[in-house]
Amino acid sequence: MAALAVAPGVTHWPDYLDAAEQAALIADLREAARQAPFYTPRMPKTGKPFSVRMTNCGVLGWISDERGYRYQPLHPQTGAPWPPIPERLLRAWRELAGYSHPPEACLVNFYEPTARMGLHQDRDEAEFDAPVLSLSLGDTAIFRIGGTSRGGKTLSLKLASGDALAFGGPARLAYHGIDRILAGSSSLLPQPGRINLTLRRVTKPSG
């Protein structure tokens, strides 16, 4: 499992999950989605729908609607608690995050081939000492990451099915996004598209 240093604070592990692990994780996510169905988030104030559909696992889930960005313990449509984070993802956190406390949220985004994600920061958490850990399933994505100020220099890399990526330290508040999805580049999912799993620590540990 070779780790590639992409930029200060940004590490890429190509093929972190093998084919069997990817298939098992998809089964875990199907069960999670039965408990917490995918839904379409909306932009704050305008209510414009995102191009991705999403759900969450963990004690907290990230949501976006007209009221703003935030974490909450309940699914916004069903009112039920989010399902637990699958053990396979917790193991990835223990192996790759370099952070001694567990994640509290796993944002699950489904990108159809036409979906995009503009450059943004993950800054709704109270704990910035923990990295953001991302795992990719399905079609390859063109991922873009820059610095901590908007409009700076960026770099792009391909995130294929089974890849892991972490950004923390000097890159914890880096602007990042998805430029496009390479439809048909993977046969893991029954339809074209990509699932991105983003593990995050939300609150500062006590003590």
Tens of pLDDT, residue by residue, the chain (207 residues) = 689 999 999 999 999 999 999 999 999 999 999 999 999 999 998 999 999 999 999 999 999 999 999 999 999 999 999 999 999 999 999 999 999 999 999 999 999 999 999 999 999 999 999 999 999 999 999 999 999 999 889 999 999 999 999 999 999 999 999 999 999 999 999 999 999 999 999 999 986
- pLDDT value, residue 1: 66
pLDDT reported for residue 50 = 97
- Report the half-sphere exposure of 92 (CA within 13 A, side-chain side): 30
- The pair of structure tokens assigned to 7 is 């930029």
Beta carbons of 200 and 107 less than 8 angstroms apart = yes
Architecture of domain 4-200 in this structure = Sandwich (2.60)
Residue 2's pLDDT is: 87
What pLDDT is stored for residue 92 in this prediction? 98
C-alpha 72, offset from chain centre: 17
Alpha helices in 36-86 (DSSP H): none
Are residues 32 and 108 in contact, defined by beta-carbon separation less than 8 angstroms? yes
